Structure 1
Amino acid sequence: MSDDNPLHPFIYWAQTETKITLKIDLRNVQSPIVDLREKSLEFSAVGVGAQGEKKYSASLDFYGYIDTDTSQYRVLDRHVEFSLIKINSEFWERLLEDPRKHAWLKIDFDKWVHQEDLSEEARDIMEDYPDLFDKIKGEEMGWATKRESMKKVYLFLYNLWQFVGFLYIISVMITRYMKDGPDSMEGTYENVWKMLAMCLVTQFLEVFHCMVGYTKGNVVEAAMQTTMRAVIFFALILSEERMHTKPVVFYLFCVWSTIELVSFVPFILNIDVSLLNWYTRTVWNIVCQMELIVDFMINLSFIWSTSSLKRYYVGFPSFLYSGVQNVLCYLLYISPPFFSSCKCNSLNQMFRCNRLQAKHPSFQCHPVIYGDVSGLLSCAYCQHRRTVKGSKYRKQ
């Protein structure tokens, strides 16, 4: 007997590297309605569940993408079973896109084994992927693993430190500029250099984060970008007193602070809002192009300020080579291609995702701000190349 208000059935799930198995705990299922898409599953039927014989329904938004052509389902006497094939062969961190815990979603522990070769002894997934299994089990039981908890606390404190530090810098600069106008630029360095130095030194932890997998990003790229900022600040500005009062230093500190604030806001707030993602992506790209210009201005200003001095010159047996010439070579040969590749990376990914969304409305782009100092924007599914076909489902 059906009810006008559908209930949610218990769902048990398990996974291998290539497949997701769902078991909907309903007996004597009648008139099942299944709508399987690449990113979601809609199910409704009349059956005997936890609340007796009533109408039950479920709506699932998956963590990853499903191949609808090869996925199957079958209705058995005691339950409804789905065999969903993953588009990308990899283990998911969770079944649903929503990270919240759901009382009706359970893990099917009996099926958490490899099924690649039934002739051999089955290997428990806890042996092959202990961290992943502990994480999923902890989410279901309502507690997180100790390592995951420490990681979240550490990253939160680190991001909070960087956010507060650069917020202090930009606040001091804006306050002094509103009070004294352009004349305040000469004293910018003296008022904020200590805080900026501490923030830049701690940013070398970004390389460590990428190495241990705390954040997504390239280790070499993070190391190069943190080093380049440190060289500009400590070698070109801190070591040369005549650079302290130049207006270009004010612009450089302002651009650096803006980039970091825009990058760390989503981490601190821990929210995923389309408008905020669009704003972050747009502002970040604009400010990063400004950083490229200001970096050139800093290097040129350093060359003009020190070209008449001899303390940056190093004598060699056959010719006179200088540290100033090092900076000039950096400007001409190293800086343009490196910055172009870094700054255009996020634009290329954004255009790629926009093309996919225009061609396939079901494709959803999820912006993720990488935790390296560059703040590079990427997309969780920007590597998706498969042509989205119409929903085709078959019963086994």
Structure 2
Amino acid sequence: MSPMSNANPMAATELSPFVYWSQTKDTLLLKVDLKDAQGVIAEFTPTTMSFGANGHGARGRNAYKFQMRFFQPIDDETATFTVTDHKIELLIHKAEPAWWVRLVATPQKPHWLRVDFDRWRTEDDAELNEPARDVREDYVEEYNNLQKQEIGYVRENAKKVYLIIYNLAMFVGYLHILIIMGVLYIRDGPDSIKHTYEYVGTSFKFVQLMQYMEVMHPLFGYTKGSPLVPFFQISGRNFVLFLMIEMEPRMHAKPVVFYVFIIWSLVELVRYPYYVSQLLKRENGLLTWLRYTIWIPLYPMGIVCEGVILLRSIPYIEETKRFCVDMPNKWNSTFDMVLFVKVYLLLLALPGSYLVMSHMSKLRVKKLGRGRAKPKIK
């Protein structure tokens, strides 16, 4: 039996566009030869790239896609692409400045990959010694097929299995909260709003505390990035949930609690399935678009709701003196919680919202592109 007899029959129907590449010591520039491209998706990891789009290429107007494993690691956080009428250009920064002997990990170059001689640069008098490589990483699909033939299944990394279970569990948790809120609203109408915290407050506190696992993940190397970003994001929510709502019973029946729970839950109902799809390497264009678009209406509404909760809590704190420290005391110091909340509210409304919006906007550009360029006027 020939080696091709075990090939996936669907693979033959997948079309790959022509890709032209060039490099500098610090960057890679890929030009995808597709005209009038729509639905462009480019996903990056430190070692791989997955691309998909509908456009007019070498085989006419079709859906085109390709995957590649890079010769060396890249900085996937800064990789971006730009869509124009005649092509898609991808700008990728190398993790370490160096001249690569080739773009892909495998010595065999894909038939659709070509050198962009118009932009090609080389390092004169450089000795490009190829480092030792792991064949299992260079030939991922072939290695997985070999495992299936030998042991009947593909061994999954324990970290990957844990992350899939964690993200699925968090998705189920937030879905459970939204379903309860929806059922109560259908049954009791607007009267159910004031009972929101009574019914789902405990569940919401549990899932919010569980989110601190996302601070631990980068510390243990399960995910990339800094633990400070998830720490401040999660702590900001928990400050509102535990100190402003949980500690003041009079806040439990406020309608704003109902609205902020819906907004927070909707964000997570998209975020966690997106993470699962990335772990399983099952790209979903709609899910990716929702992940990097749904924040546009939800984040401003969430910030407004959190601001309202903080404002409504100030009179209660002034009345109860909760969390306030007055002189004299053994620490010989004071703390005015009312002033702290006012400063926190100011930071949330101005620099905080700007930083969050700009960060998400950059991620959206990276994942979905800058959009179609306007034609030049001659």
TM exceeds 0.5? yes
Q: How far apart, in 1, do the equivalents of 2:276 and 2:233 lie?
A: 22
- Listed as ranges, the matches of 1:367-386 within 5 Å are none
Q: How far apart, in 1, do the equivalents of 2:263 and 2:344 lie?
A: 21
Cα shift at 1:319 = 9.2
Task: Identify if the C-alpha distance between structure 1 residues 341 and 123 changes in structure 2 by more than 3 Å, giving closer, same or farther.
Answer: closer
Which residue of structure 2 aligns with residue 28 of structure 1? none
1:222 aligns with 2:230: yes
Task: Identify if the C-alpha distance between structure 1 residues 360 and 267 changes in structure 2 by more than 3 Å, giving closer, same or farther.
Answer: farther
User: Would the aligned equivalents of 1:259 and 1:284 in 2 still touch at CA under 8 Å?
Assistant: yes
Moved over 6 A (4+): 91-94, 144-147, 352-355
TM-score using structure 2 length: 0.59
Which residue of structure 1 aligns with residue 303 of structure 2? 292
User: Would the aligned equivalents of 2:185 and 2:193 in 1 still touch at CA under 8 Å?
Assistant: yes
Which residue of structure 1 aligns with residue 68 of structure 2? 63
Match of 1:37 among 17, 20, 27: 20
Q: How far apart, in 2, do the equivalents of 1:257 and 1:353 lie?
A: 23
Q: How far apart, in 2, do the equivalents of 1:138 and 1:35 lie?
A: 22
Cα shift at 1:150 = 1.0
User: Would the aligned equivalents of 1:263 and 1:284 in 2 still touch at CA under 8 Å?
Assistant: no
Task: Identify if the C-alpha distance between structure 1 residues 183 and 274 changes in structure 2 by more than 3 Å, giving closer, same or farther.
Answer: same
Which residue of structure 1 aligns with residue 288 of structure 2? 277
1:1-44: CA deviations, max 9, x gaps? xxxxxx98xxxxxxxxxxxxxxxxxxxxxxxxx965235899xx
1:81-117: CA deviations, max 9, x gaps? xxxxx96445999759xxxxx9xxxxxxxxxxxxx75
Task: Identify if the C-alpha distance between structure 1 residues 160 and 177 changes in structure 2 by more than 3 Å, giving closer, same or farther.
Answer: same
1:333 aligns with 2:347: yes
Please state whether the residue corresponding to 2:325 is helix, strand or coil. Answer: strand
Task: Identify if the C-alpha distance between structure 1 residues 276 and 321 changes in structure 2 by more than 3 Å, giving closer, same or farther.
Answer: closer
Stretches of structure 1 lacking an aligned partner (at least 5 in a row): 1-6, 9-33, 43-58, 67-85, 97-101, 103-115, 127-132, 362-396
RCO (CA 8 Å, sep 6+): is it higher in 1 or 2?
2
- Listed as ranges, the matches of 1:1-396 within 5 Å are 37-38=20-21, 61-63=66-68, 88-89=93-94, 117=127, 124-125=132-133, 134-136=136-138, 139-142=141-144, 143=147, 149-269=157-277, 271-316=282-327, 321-333=335-347, 336-351=350-365, 358-359=372-373
Please state whether the residue corresponding to 1:313 is helix, strand or coil. Answer: coil
Task: Identify if the C-alpha distance between structure 1 residues 266 and 285 changes in structure 2 by more than 3 Å, giving closer, same or farther.
Answer: same
Stretches of structure 2 lacking an aligned partner (at least 5 in a row): 5-16, 22-29, 34-63, 72-90, 111-125
Larger radius of gyration: 1
Task: Identify if the C-alpha distance between structure 1 residues 360 and 155 changes in structure 2 by more than 3 Å, giving closer, same or farther.
Answer: farther
1:257-309: CA deviations, max 9, x gaps? 11100112223455323333223322222111111111101111111333222
Which residue of structure 2 aligns with residue 76 of structure 1? none
Q: How far apart, in 2, do the equivalents of 1:210 and 1:239 lie?
A: 31
Cα shift at 1:360 = 11
Higher mean C-alpha displacement, 234-243 vs 160-169: 234-243
User: Would the aligned equivalents of 2:326 and 2:335 in 1 still touch at CA under 8 Å?
Assistant: yes
1:316-354: CA deviations, max 9, x gaps? 359974212211111123553123211232224435777
Task: Identify if the C-alpha distance between structure 1 residues 253 and 93 changes in structure 2 by more than 3 Å, giving closer, same or farther.
Answer: farther
Task: Identify if the C-alpha distance between structure 1 residues 257 and 62 changes in structure 2 by more than 3 Å, giving closer, same or farther.
Answer: closer
User: Would the aligned equivalents of 2:136 and 2:143 in 1 still touch at CA under 8 Å?
Assistant: no
Cα shift at 1:63 = 2.6
1:188-221: CA deviations, max 9, x gaps? 1111122111111110111122334433443211
Q: How far apart, in 2, do the equivalents of 1:333 and 1:125 lie?
A: 49
Task: Identify if the C-alpha distance between structure 1 residues 159 and 87 changes in structure 2 by more than 3 Å, giving closer, same or farther.
Answer: closer
Task: Identify if the C-alpha distance between structure 1 residues 298 and 262 changes in structure 2 by more than 3 Å, giving closer, same or farther.
Answer: same
Percent identical among aligned pairs is: 29
Q: How far apart, in 2, do the equivalents of 1:35 and 1:248 lie?
A: 53
How many residue pairs match? The answer is: 269
Task: Identify if the C-alpha distance between structure 1 residues 147 and 235 changes in structure 2 by more than 3 Å, giving closer, same or farther.
Answer: farther
1:47-81: CA deviations, max 9, x gaps? xxxxxxxxxxxx99353789xxxxxxxxxxxxxxx
Please state whether the residue corresponding to 1:358 is helix, strand or coil. Answer: coil
User: Would the aligned equivalents of 2:303 and 2:348 in 1 still touch at CA under 8 Å?
Assistant: no
Please state whether the residue corresponding to 2:319 is helix, strand or coil. Answer: coil
Cα shift at 1:355 = 6.8
Which residue of structure 1 aligns with residue 37 of structure 2? none
Counterpart residue type for residue 195 of structure 1: S
Q: How far apart, in 2, do the equivalents of 1:332 and 1:87 lie?
A: 37
Task: Identify if the C-alpha distance between structure 1 residues 231 and 141 changes in structure 2 by more than 3 Å, giving closer, same or farther.
Answer: same
Counterpart residue type for residue 297 of structure 1: V
Q: How far apart, in 2, do the equivalents of 1:154 and 1:215 lie?
A: 11
